[in-house]
Structure 1
Amino acid sequence: MTEIAEQRPRAARTSGRRTGSPQTRAAILDAAMRSFADKGYPGTTIRAVARAAGVDPALVMHFFGSKDGLFVEAIRTGLPVREMHGAIDGDPAGLGERLVRRYLGLWEDPATGWRMYALLHSAASAPPAADLIRNFMVAEMLIPMTRYLRCDHAETRALLAASQLVGLGMVRYALKIEPLSALPREQLIACVAPTLQRYLTGDLPLTG
């Protein structure tokens, strides 16, 4: 397991079954995120998540409806969408650098990095998980980005930028491939930001 995954907090021991409180819902989500990080989407089960959270499986179903519903909520809470939205606002000429800088910071933050790893691991392990993440990203990131760009081929531009960031997260933080994983952060930003900026606002060989 990677260092990112190992950053996650350990579950608190429970005595007896929990009832349906907001704290219980949060405990279930936390247990689910740990399972997605360790076992991916296929290896995560409602029963195992319930056992780790100290609740009855029926309570997990009550809160989330299904394994897909649990994963969608894990995406919603695990992907720091608001933080990425904050990087969008500002001078369009600096958008590429702002996005890369914020994205790297989220991976390196112990509070968010392991959650991003869990979701990336799950997306790589099962097509259904990848579909759920894709749908969420389109609704929560792609559409707001295209509205901000207000230029030709905005959707394609946003997807090109997203592909660059996802690949960067996989190689640097999940797989830890040298020398990219050891490249100083400011050097990495200087290398990647111009590419993102070109994707978002530069001239691209796109037609139609």
Structure 2
Amino acid sequence: MTAAAPAPRTPRRRGRPSRTQTETGPATRDRILEAAREEFSERGYEKTSVRGIAKTAGVDSALVHHYFGTKEQVFEAAIEVAFAPALDAPAALEEGPLDGVGERLTRFILGIWENPATRTPLLAIVRSAVNNETAAAVFRRLVAAQLLRRIAGALDVPDGELRAELAAAQLVGIAMLRYVIKVEPLASADPEQIVRRVAPVVQAHLTGH
């Protein structure tokens, strides 16, 4: 008796992961994000590839595209998770009177940078943004939409967005010199000393008095 011919396999669309690949669920997505943060941190935006992220995560590159799309979209998803602690800054502003927002914001942002667990992914974001315009555009979009506008809304003062941006420029500049470029004596200064000196300047930016 002649054996029945095997049923023809349904062709799969190019670039789309197989059913078994997509059935791995949220754990696989999280693994890809973790791999992306690791790759962007070690290599920067320019030298990181979707293929490299996939290899680190132990998945096919088509699965990375399936979950996130382009490399730019992977980067945005990865930094949004890494940037999440900073997004609580507006809430910190609302925890006390308006005349103390400068100290509260300075202490909050400095605390994020002082913590190694949150500092490492932030360093990766800043380095990528400084060296690549695409990464910088993603970072600007995230900072403007999810941080500065919310800070401005929490302040409820005239020119709130400009005030928030000036305060952010002050704090980002300090972070760059202290944690990225590591200029002394700022790099090894006591955090409380920095808060005492910087908070009044941030207060002036935010409230004008």
Task: Tell me the TM-score normalized by structure 1.
Answer: 0.85
Q: Would you say the 8 A contact 1:20–1:59 is kept in 2?
A: no
Gaps of 5+ in 1: 1-16, 204-208
- Distance of 2:22 and 2:150 partners within structure 1: 38
Per-residue deviation at 1:153? Answer: 1.3
Are 2:181 and 1:175 aligned? yes
Question: Which has the larger Rg?
Answer: 2
Q: 1:30 aligns with which of 34, 38, 57?
A: 34
Per-residue deviation at 1:19? Answer: 6.1
Q: Would you say the 8 A contact 1:33–1:115 is kept in 2?
A: yes
Q: Would you say the 8 A contact 1:19–1:55 is kept in 2?
A: no
Per-residue deviation at 1:56? Answer: 0.6
Per-residue deviation at 1:148? Answer: 1.6
Q: Would you say the 8 A contact 1:87–1:99 is kept in 2?
A: yes
Are 2:67 and 1:68 aligned? no
Aligned length: 187
- Distance of 1:175 and 1:58 partners within structure 2: 37
Quote the residue 1:112 is aligned against: 118
| Superimposed CA distance per residue, residues 97-125 of structure 1 (whole angstroms, 9 cap, x where no aligned partner) | 11111111111222211111110111011
Are 2:47 and 1:50 aligned? no
> 4+ runs of 1 displaced by more than 6 Å?
none
- Distance of 2:169 and 2:187 partners within structure 1: 18
- Distance of 1:152 and 1:42 partners within structure 2: 39
Gaps of 5+ in 2: 1-20
User: What is the CA RMSD across the aligned residues, in angstroms?
Assistant: 1.6
- Distance of 1:38 and 1:176 partners within structure 2: 18
Per-residue deviation at 1:60? Answer: 0.6
Q: Would you say the 8 A contact 2:89–2:109 is kept in 1?
A: yes
- Distance of 1:18 and 1:185 partners within structure 2: 46
Q: Would you say the 8 A contact 2:37–2:79 is kept in 1?
A: no
| Superimposed CA distance per residue, residues 109-145 of structure 1 (whole angstroms, 9 cap, x where no aligned partner) | 2221111111011101101111111111111012111
Amino acid at match of 2:88: E
Q: Would you say the 8 A contact 2:49–2:71 is kept in 1?
A: yes
Q: Pick which of 19-28 and 46-55 moved more.
A: 19-28
Task: Tell me the TM-score normalized by structure 2.
Answer: 0.84
Structure ranking higher in helix proportion:
2
Q: Identical aligned pairs, as a percentage?
A: 42
Q: Would you say the 8 A contact 1:25–1:63 is kept in 2?
A: yes
Are 2:101 and 1:95 aligned? yes
Are 2:91 and 1:83 aligned? no
2:48 match: secondary structure: coil
Structure 1 residues 172 and 31: alpha-carbon distance in aligned structure 2, compared to 1, 3 A threshold: same
- Distance of 2:205 and 2:182 partners within structure 1: 25
- Distance of 1:116 and 1:85 partners within structure 2: 18
